[in-house]
Structure formats: structure tokens, C-alpha cells
Structure 1
Amino acid sequence: MIALVDCNNFYVSCERVFDPRLEGRQVGVLSNNDSCIVARSSELKSQGVEMGAAMHLLPPHVRHQAVLLSSNYALYGDMSRRVTQILGEFSPHIEVYSIDESFVGFQGFDPSTLEEHSHQLRRTVLKWTGIPVSVGIAQTRVLAKVANRAAKMNPAYEGVCMLDADNGHTTRSLLQNLPVTELWGVARRTGERLAVMGIETAWQLREADPKRIRRAFSVVLERIVWELRGQPAITLDDMAAPKRQIMVSRSFGRLTSDPTDLREAVRQHAARAGEKLRRQGSVAKAVMVFVRTNPFQPSQPQYRNSAVVPLAQPCNDTRDIAQAAARGLDIVFLEGYRYQKVGVMLLDISDEANRQLSLGETTQSEGERKRRQNLMATVDILNRELGRDKVRLGLPRQENSWRLKCEKRSPRYTTRWEELVVVKS
């Protein structure tokens, strides 16, 4: 058996741990530059506020009543790490799926004890971190996702739902009432194509011919069919294939026409893209840089452009990527415009393990490539263990236009000495 442990309203829950005054109130967490809602408390959801709603379009009564906070990713990441450590006390088999979700393997456990074991897990996580979680248990990851959804939505389960694929009216009822597009791994367009075949619910997909599904769609969707039947067929690698393109972009905190602002932002984005590329064990062959003004200010001169700069050889070295990105920026930048956004995209990505020497490379250059790999690996380790951007290319100015707006961010209680909780008696 396997369980999916999902933190409830995770970002909001993290904020409430350190500010109990937020309990019972409408709370929302905002995206970069405080522009959109990316997390909502149950109270805010009940007001009809959708995920991704623009802050400036919220109804006046919501803006006046709700507490809207800037994203505090340092806090959320640290709280996620603490929750994962606690899960390790209940099973040695932990697969982190996202910042607020982990699969917990219960191989060798007595199935009759798993519900009480999971209730104890919930109580421990809540007591030690203050984060409420829901637990879905089943024979497969896909069914565990379905069970977790039920545990979260139906108070009768008290946060823990266990499904049996082969013997249970509950399982059939849940799958018959679950739209196929709500299943893990089934996108909206896939759902539209399934509907043409008369498959609209998770139960109908479960009963479909797996080979027919594979011929019409993919081997991954066939595996989802088997998983719905209780036969494990999916690993996390199946659901998280390496990205074929990596993009890092962000709107500026304020419009700028200063080329130094754009150069600093491009350098920062290139470094972040390089980290992501190395994390998935890939190399890129080209870098695209794009710029744009604010399309929602038509009274201002409008401009948008992009340029692709090929890399001398496939690589994931931040320095090469940043140099190529800087050349791309020089191509597209024009004076006289107030820019709102700049971005870096890595193109033509391939697996580093399958990389071959190009015609222009020699054995000596291969040795240099390995030294570069060791350097980048060291940089990644330092930034991972000591904190993001402890080692980076250049030092950005303190008052730059591209720095994110985070005017409503709460203190980073667990990762900054100077922002520790202050208790007054």
C-alpha cells in the first residue's frame, strides 16, 4: 500500500502557524510581484475567489476583509522540509512529489493498521509543525491521489481515506463521480478526446480497454488505467519527464528603461535556468532572450522582441548561459521604452548522459568540461546548503527595478536570525 500525504492549503497554513490571528479569517497568498492569488484559505474559497485571480480585480468587500500576504518561499520551503522529516518517522519509503505532497510507502505494514497509523501521522505532523495534512491510502499512486481528494473534501473521513481497488463500493462510487480530467496525469485536452470516446468519468476510464487507450493516447495513460484497477504501473519519473524547454522570467517590480536593470535580471534568470538544467541532468544548445513592455498601458510606446543565441557546444554551465543571454539582450534592447518583463529560455535540451563530443572538441576540451561540471556542482551544493544565491554571478544593486514586490511578506521565521518570532508577555 502507498499513501499520498498532502498539506492542506499549505502556504496559508504556514502563515497561520506563526500568526494564530489568521485562524478563521479569509487569507490569500499572492504570486510574484503581489499580482495574483496562488493560495487560498477555505474561508477565501467560500467567497468565490478563484485560483489565479488578479488582485486588482478582487471585489472590494474581499479586499477589505481578506488578509493578502506576499509569497514567503523561504518559510514554505523550510516548513516543507520539516514535514518530510516527520514522515520519515512513519516509513522509510518517502517520495517527495512537490513542496506540499509526498508519497509514503507502507510496504510490509499490516493493512488493518494503516488507517490508525495514518491518523497518528496526521496528529504528529500537526503537533510538531502546526501544518494540517490529509492522507489517501491505496494500492497505487493514482488511487492514492483519489483517496486523498476524498479525505480532504469529505469531513466524514477525518483526514484519512483508504480505498481498496478490488473490493469496495466506496471506490466505485468515488470513481463514478470523479470527472476524468480530475485524475492525476489527465490533462484537459486529453479529457476532451476521451469524451469523444464516451469516457467522461474515472470509472469509465478504469473499465476501458488498456491496449485501446495506449493506441489512441500514450503508454502513460494506459498505465493510469492499470493503476485505477489497483495494479502499480507508475513511478514519479513517469509523471515528471525532463523538460524540453526551461524558461525563467518575471515581471519587474516597476517599469524601467535602464539597461543595467535588464542586464542584472537576465544574469539572474540565466543562473536560475542553469540550476534547473543541471538538476534534471540535461544540457542546452541555445538560449533565447525576450523583452516586452507593459501591454496593459497602451498609452505607452509598445515593444516586444526576442533573440536566439546558439551555444558553442551543448552545456549547462551558468557562465556560458549567462554570456549567451547577455548577447541576446544586446540584440533586442532598444532605448526609449519602459520595460515590464525580461526572460531567458533554454532551447534544444537533451540528456547530458547521452552527450557526444562535437567535431570541434578534443580530449583536452573534454577535461575542461569535467572541471566545469565540478565547479557548477560545487556552486549548486553551496547554494542548496547555505541558502539561495550565496554563490552567484555578480552582485545586483540594492535598488533595482527588477526586484520583486513583496510588500506584504511575513517574516522568514525559520531561516533568518534577524526575523525570529518576538514573544511579548
Structure 2
Amino acid sequence: MFGLVDGNNFYVSCERVFQPRLDGRPVVVLSNNDGNVVSRSAEAKQLGIAMGAPFFEVRELLRHHQGHALSSNYPLYGDMSRRVMARLADHVPAVEVYSIDEAFLDLAGLTTWCGPLDARAQELRRDVLACTSIPTCVGIGPTKTLAKVANRLAKKYPELQGLLSLTTESRRERALRALPAADVWGIGRQYAQLLQGSGIRTAWELAGVSEAWARKHLGGVVGWRLVQELRGQPCQGLLPSEDGTLGRKSISCSRSFGQRLHHVEELWGAVSTYLSRAAEKLRAQGDQAHLVTVFLSQDRYDTRIRPPYTRSATLTLPGGPTADTLRLLAYGRRLLEKLYEPGRVYVKAGVVLDGLEPPSSGQQLDLFAPPDLLTEPVSVERSARLMQQLDALNRRFGRGAVRLASTVSLAGQPPPWQGKSNYRSPAFTTRLEDLLLVT
């Protein structure tokens, strides 16, 4: 048996923990650069504010209803997420942290030792609320997909009081008949259109398709497993978590700029910052990268610009895989100069590290690779020690305490590539300067 716990309107709920003035008011949290709505309170949803709506379209509506818009505060959300997950881990044998606000729970055997699952789940919700002030909903089912279904319906219908358990066949049928097929976990936009064209409108109808149909139209064995999960037959267990214990297959970092950039050195400041952050993540999971990609984007809404709006360049590292920030920056500069065109205006940049693998002394070398002329012939061991010391200093004194000169802007001036965050609240739990004072 599986459970799925989801924080209600998580980003908004995190903000309300430390700002009671937001309770009962329409509140939205904005994406990077204060562009779009990425989280909404129940009151904001009642006003008809859609997820992803541009902020400029809803600004006056919020003002008219005495609502609030806040910039994303990811250090706060990440810390609150860790607190919620720690409380969940105290109640169940195993937890899979699926995202910043969701976690799958292993509920096997709890009925024997802890009584009915519904009562246990409500106790869990009360404990999380008491210790973190984050409201949650819980879905319970014999498969992870059914737990997702139950959680979605528990959030949709207030009369369920934040909990739905699909532990009986009759409950499962009622839930699947109430859920549109397009809302099933794993059904994206293209599959939703295909199901609608095939006359499959509800999750119950999707659970009734044949194996041959599922394999043909829903991606082969993956689609058939989805159908089996809807029927109550588990096809997957808990996986390593997205909280850092699950190694990523690629690492990316990209941002929209707070202002339009014209000069290559301004772009290099942004690209080197993103590449440094990606390299830090790469080392944190103990991997090295074979491929590095840099991309630059122009404004797709500017009628004077013809597509493609985004150009990218990828390089297979000729000296073999690496996690060395200095070496990655040297190649990143080469890629940027290949992409940059004088006279153009850029609004976004990003980097991607691919071909990840752990370091190995038995690594296969390329006999025909050109000599690596971008860096001095420093030993691999010395490079690794340098990066270890860099990461250790930043862990001890805070991210960015020690960084490359190319990522630093002029003294007293914000980086020209820095995104807008005009409505950001303090980082109440991660900065001493922002600790909440009670008088």
C-alpha cells in the first residue's frame, strides 16, 4: 500500500507560515524574473487566476481584491520542504521524495501495528501541520498511480477533509469514474488528445483498455504498466528520491535576464555563473560530464526577430569527462563565442551538462582526441582537491563565498543578468539576517 502526501499550494503556504497577514487573502508566487504565476492560494484560484498566467495580466485583479504577489524564494521553500519530509519519515518505514512538495510513502504493514490507515494518515497530517504549519492532502492506494489519483481528488473536494483512501474496489471505481483521463499521472498533452479522440474520457475507461491497445498507443510497456496500476496491480515501488540521493542523468541551469543584454562580456557573466552552479551540482552527486551545451535566447515576442529564437552549441569534451569548474568554463567560453552575434539582443541563457558518469580509473580514452590546450597540464588529483576545497568553503561560509572572477559584477552593482525579484520575502529560516523577530 502506498500513500502520496502533497503540500497544499506549497509556495504560498511557506510564505504564510511567517506572514500571517497573507491568511485569507488572494496570494500568488511568481516565477523567476517575476514573469508568471507558479503557485496560487485558494482565494486566488477563486478569482480565476490560472497557473502560468503572466503577472501583468493579473496585477490589477490582485490589487482590486487586496491580494499579494510574491517573488519566488527557493531557499525558504527548500528548507520548509526538508522539514516536512523529516516529519513524514518519522511516521512510515520509507519515503520517496518525489518533488519539493510531494512524497510517496511506504504504508505496507502499518495496519497491523498502527491501526486503520485513514486514522494514521490524519495523524500524520496533524503532525506535519503542527510542526511546520504546512497543510497537506494524503492519497492512499494499492499502487503509486492510484495514490496519485486519490491525492488529486482529496485536493479537489473539500468534503474529503484532505484524505482519500482507495483501499476497496468500490472506492477505486468511484474515484476513477470521477477523474478525467487527461489528469492521470503520466498522461501528457499528446496522450490526452489521443485518448479524447479515441473516446476515452475517464480514468475508469482508460483502466479498461486492452494490453494490445495500451502497448500500441501509450508508449509500449510503459503504457501497459500505467493501465495495470490503475487496475490496482503495482508495477513500481519506491525509488531513490529527488532530494539529492537520486543521480540526475543531465544537469541544467538557465535563467531569463532581468534586462536585455547586448555585449558578450555581460553574457559571459551569466553563462559562467550558470556553468559554475551546474558544476557544483555535478560534483555533489559524484559524477563527471562528457558533454557541455550552451544556449542563448532572443525575445520570441519581438516581431522584428525571425526564428529560431534560441541557438545552442554542444561540445564533447576532448580531454575526457570532468567536473572541474575551471575546465568547464574554458569550454563554455569557446561555445559562447561561437553563438554570440554582435548587434543581437538576448533575454535568456543556459547550460546543460550531459553524458554523466562517475569517475573511474579504468575510463576509456580517445586515441584520436586532440591535446587539451585549454588548461594547464594539472593532474587529475590536484584538480579534484581544488574543487573539493572550493565546495567545502562554500558549504561552510555560504554559496558564492568563493567563486570565479567571471561570475562577479562590478562592486556595488547587481549583475546585469540577475533576474527581477521585486517582491521577495526574507529567507526566514536560512539567513541569520532574516530571522523573524518576535517582540
- Would you say same fold, with TM above 0.5? yes
User: Which of 315, 326, 349 is the equivalent residue of 1:342?
Assistant: 349
Question: What's 2:331 paired with?
Answer: 324
Q: 1:404 to 1:59 in 2, by over 3 A?
A: closer
Q: Distance in 1 between matches of 2:283 and 2:430?
A: 25
Q: 1:304 to 1:85 in 2, by over 3 A?
A: closer
Q: Distance in 2 between matches of 1:371 and 1:128?
A: 45
Question: What's 2:255 paired with?
Answer: 250
Shift of 1:192: 2.7
Q: Does 1:120 align with 2:123?
A: yes
SS at the partner of 1:409? Answer: coil
User: Which of 145, 148, 151 is the equivalent residue of 1:145?
Assistant: 148
Shift of 1:281: 6.7
Mapped contact 2:95–2:238 kept (Cα < 8 A) = no
Q: Does 1:333 align with 2:340?
A: yes
Shift of 1:18: 0.5
Q: Distance in 2 between matches of 1:381 and 1:218?
A: 46
- Percent identity for Structure 1 against Structure 2: 42
Which whole-Å deviations, capped at 9, do the CAs of 1:315-367 have from their partners, x for residues lacking one? 444333222111111223344444322222345x35558994123399xx9x9
Q: Which amino acid aligns with 2:194?
A: R
Answer with 112-121 or 337-346: which moved more. 337-346
Shift of 1:151: 1.4
SS at the partner of 1:308? Answer: strand
Q: Distance in 1 between matches of 2:93 and 2:389?
A: 28
Shift of 1:23: 0.6
Q: Distance in 2 between matches of 1:145 and 1:195?
A: 21
Q: 1:134-173 maps to which residues of 2 (within 5 A)?
A: 134-164=137-167, 167-173=168-174
Question: What's 1:399 paired with?
Answer: 414
Q: Distance in 2 between matches of 1:36 and 1:116?
A: 39
Which whole-Å deviations, capped at 9, do the CAs of 1:235-262 have from their partners, x for residues lacking one? 4659999876654221111223343321
Which whole-Å deviations, capped at 9, do the CAs of 1:178-231 have from their partners, x for residues lacking one? 122211112121233344544332112222223542354222222212211222
Mapped contact 2:97–2:241 kept (Cα < 8 A) = no
SS at the partner of 1:329? Answer: helix
Q: Distance in 2 between matches of 1:86 and 1:376?
A: 34
Mapped contact 1:185–1:239 kept (Cα < 8 A) = no
Shift of 1:277: 4.7
Question: What's 1:290 paired with?
Answer: 295
Contiguous gaps of at least 5 residues in structure 2? 373-377
Q: Which amino acid aligns with 2:186?
A: G
Question: What's 2:45 paired with?
Answer: 45
Answer with 133-142 or 388-397: which moved more. 388-397
Answer with 300-309 or 102-111: which moved more. 300-309
Q: 1:372 to 1:146 in 2, by over 3 A?
A: farther
Mapped contact 1:301–1:337 kept (Cα < 8 A) = no
Q: Does 1:358 align with 2:369?
A: no
Question: What's 1:56 paired with?
Answer: 56
Question: What's 2:375 paired with?
Answer: none
Question: What's 1:271 paired with?
Answer: 276
Mapped contact 2:98–2:241 kept (Cα < 8 A) = no
Mapped contact 2:62–2:68 kept (Cα < 8 A) = no
Q: 1:202 to 1:383 in 2, by over 3 A?
A: farther
Mapped contact 1:176–1:203 kept (Cα < 8 A) = yes
Answer with 384-393 or 95-104: which moved more. 384-393
Q: Distance in 2 between matches of 1:285 and 1:403?
A: 28
Q: 1:200 to 1:370 in 2, by over 3 A?
A: farther
Q: 1:351 to 1:199 in 2, by over 3 A?
A: farther
Answer with 393-402 or 414-423: which moved more. 393-402
Give the RMSD, CA atoms, in angstroms: 3.3
Mapped contact 1:309–1:327 kept (Cα < 8 A) = no
Q: Does 1:204 align with 2:209?
A: no
Q: Which amino acid aligns with 1:10?
A: F
SS at the partner of 2:321? Answer: strand
Q: 1:225 to 1:317 in 2, by over 3 A?
A: farther
Question: What's 2:315 paired with?
Answer: 309
Q: Which amino acid aligns with 1:213?
A: A
Q: Distance in 1 between matches of 2:105 and 2:337?
A: 49
Q: 1:45 to 1:203 in 2, by over 3 A?
A: same
User: Which of 208, 230, 233 is the equivalent residue of 1:231?
Assistant: 233
SS at the partner of 1:224? Answer: helix
Contiguous gaps of at least 5 residues in structure 1? none
Mapped contact 1:311–1:320 kept (Cα < 8 A) = no
Q: Distance in 2 between matches of 1:296 and 1:212?
A: 41
